[in-house]
Structure 1
């Protein structure tokens, strides 16, 4: 093994994401990242200027997984569904970075390239530029909301906590055991309602 490990952008991003996945956003520091890579912290600054810049690079790499190819055939509904599902999957793989992504796309090339495709496809399909912006924003709200928390896992498995005081929630204690399935199906329900509602508005 070389005494001074060779650094490149890809290796730095991968190590940073590993720390975020393991320790959370607050757990990432340039000092900890350097230790993870087996180098001095000063060595990192030749590749990335600040921690914030590094986070944008990590976020950009994750967002490369978002698929906007569904818009290519001219079906905006299919494009939105494909985009939303792949977006949620990309964030679900790295939930600790979701709060950082919630700040918006302004500094991330991957976000802006995908947003440009979505916006252009919606306008080409007949939506106004304002409507296209609102639809893209609504899609982000839907996906980030689904990625930020699990509705089902937020309940206690203690049956006694709900049964007497909240009679309409007498089965709520079962939700944590089916959280993955219910959260997936709830996201799909919201996505279907979103796209169907837009379709009705387009015909109105």
Structure 2
């Protein structure tokens, strides 16, 4: 038999094409018709792999979640360092695919990679001694912070017109320069916020659990803290 002129469809091929479209043109470009054209197939053939557009979008989002490094949670020595490394990897994945950040702001749903991420973060915190209820809230807090930092560039939102700020905004005399340095400003803002957030969590940890020490040696302390919190799950 002759080889097909167009490679056979697969879920991976469809998701890769869909993510490429979303990256290049935004989620509004991700229609069944447009995707079929990109893949040189008929629209109905896509439904053999994804029943609905929402199913496809879930797979696209979960592919991005699969880019987030979770290795720091395998045997963490320090919950703070693990959270910091994870937050940076998470932000890097979102920065590579900014157009899907609004969808990622939702919970993990049934997405396997997103669920693995949630499980790893929650497990690290509970193993470190955090009460289960607080571990749930911290996991949510970290997601809010990282996804919020990836939604848009604050620095890029300023005009390059110096005259716009000269008269009416006396403290923004150099605001017209911000957009030229958006990379360093956005990165610096993220790192400042991450450090401040973790500093605050470490203070709370000291009040709730005790002095920080390696996560793998806190089993009994975690059990006691969980009982005092009521052990509300993730």
| TM-score of the two chains, using structure 1 as the length reference | 0.96
Q: Is the 8 A contact 2:76 2:124 kept in 1?
A: no
- Of 139-148 and 60-69, more deviation after overlay is shown by 60-69
Runs of 4+ in 1 over 3 A off after TM superposition: none
Q: Is the 8 A contact 2:79 2:125 kept in 1?
A: yes
Q: What SS does the corresponding residue of 2:160 show, helix, strand or coil? A: coil
Q: Is the 8 A contact 1:5 1:38 kept in 2?
A: no
1:100 shift after superposition? 1.2
Rounded to whole Å, the distance in 2 between the matches of 1:61 and 1:74 is 28
Q: After superposition, what is the alpha-carbon deviation per residue over 1:157-184, rounded to whole angstroms, capped at 9, x for unaligned?
A: 1111112111111111110000011000
Rounded to whole Å, the distance in 1 between the matches of 2:116 and 2:19 is 22
Unaligned 5+ residue runs, structure 2? 208-234
Q: Is the 8 A contact 2:155 2:178 kept in 1?
A: yes
Q: Point out the structure with max Rg over C-alpha.
A: 2
- Of 135-144 and 60-69, more deviation after overlay is shown by 60-69
| TM-score of the two chains, using structure 2 as the length reference | 0.84
Q: What SS does the corresponding residue of 1:169 show, helix, strand or coil? A: coil
Rounded to whole Å, the distance in 2 between the matches of 1:79 and 1:30 is 40
Q: After TM superposition, list the pairs within 5 Å mapping 1:118-137 onto structure 2.
A: 118-137=121-140
1:4 shift after superposition? 4.6
The alignment status of 1:169 with 2:172, answered yes or no, reads yes
The aligned residue for residue 117 of structure 2 is 114
1:65 to 51, 64, 67: 67
- The CA RMSD measured in Å over matched residues stands at 1.2
Rounded to whole Å, the distance in 2 between the matches of 1:77 and 1:194 is 10
Rounded to whole Å, the distance in 2 between the matches of 1:159 and 1:77 is 41
